[in-house]
Amino acid sequence: MIDIHTHILPGVDDGAKTVEQSLFMVRQGQEAGINTICATPHILHQVTPQFEQKINRSFDLLKAKIAESESKVHLVLGSEIYVREDINSLKKFDFFTLNKTGKYLLMELPWGQFPLHVDRIVFELQLEGQIPIIAHPERSIITKKQLGNVENLVQKGALMQVNAGSLLGFFGRKIKRMTEELLRQNLVHFLASDAHDHFSCSIEILPQAFSCASKIIGEKKAKELVLSNPQRVIQGEKLTNSKIPLSFGSE
């Protein structure tokens, strides 16, 4: 399995606090059958040179420590960018797209709402050759009627990543039901842990969520969410099984 959404970098955001905790998360992932982990620290504000250096140093340090431990887990860099008008101003940073392919970026929406300008941002990103992956859209849905907002974004070319914890009921029955409905309506492209630590919402719950998803959409489709789709993202390739054909601009 491949986990495209984790807060595993030590001392960068509200995720892992120490290298030791990060390495524990890596071991949990390996034991759970995860061979690739994408580090996606929160990008909430303007990025200063100091913060950029902090991310890069933390990533390089953790990658070196993983190599020293002889772990077989592959670590790649990305970020979770809070939706913003000037999102393309971040293109110069290594963490802008997942695994620095220049193709896919993880974008977070506000809790409980879909800002009106998200459609335009999705469109503008596509003009520049990027495809946004919306992180945990199930948290932005207050009423069942808002499922239409998700479908609208998918039709416009965005992809959707739901959290393992949401599907397992960690955030309440309502979010669990919304996640299940998104799966049933074929509006989910990725299932990821969004792990912040090694105990409360850990990376090791991904296999449990995979089993849960398999009961709803079947094992073949569930494997796409944790293996084939993430693999294409990491390699910067097109997804062949989304609801609409995707393009990367004029490449």
User: Alpha-carbon distance 76 to 101, whole Å?
Assistant: 11
What is the domain partition of the chain in residue ranges? 2-235
Indicate the pTM of the whole model. Answer: 0.94
- Residues 203, 3 contacting (CB under 8 angstroms): yes
Q: Supply the pLDDT for residue 249.
A: 38
What confidence score (pLDDT) does residue 242 get? 52
The DSSP secondary structure of 142-167, one letter per residue, reads SSGGGHHHHHHHHHTT-EEEEEHHHH
Question: 150 Cβ partners below 8 Å, 6+ apart?
Answer: 134, 137, 141, 160, 182, 187
Structure confidence at residue 150 (pLDDT) = 94
Is the domain 2-235 a CATH 3.40.50.460 member? no
Which residue in 167, 151, 250, 156 sits closest to 211, CA to CA? 167
Q: Are 122 and 153 in contact (CB under 8 A)?
A: yes
Indicate the DSSP class of residue 109.
P
Signed CA dihedral, 187, 192, 193, 194: sign only: negative
Whether 11 and 61 have beta carbons less than 8 Å apart is answered as no
Residue 247's pLDDT is 40
The dihedral sign for the CA sequence 244, 245, 250, 251: positive
86-109 per-position pLDDT tens digit: 999 999 999 999 999 999 999 999
Which positions of the chain have pLDDT values less than 70? 241-251
Residue 250: predicted pLDDT: 33
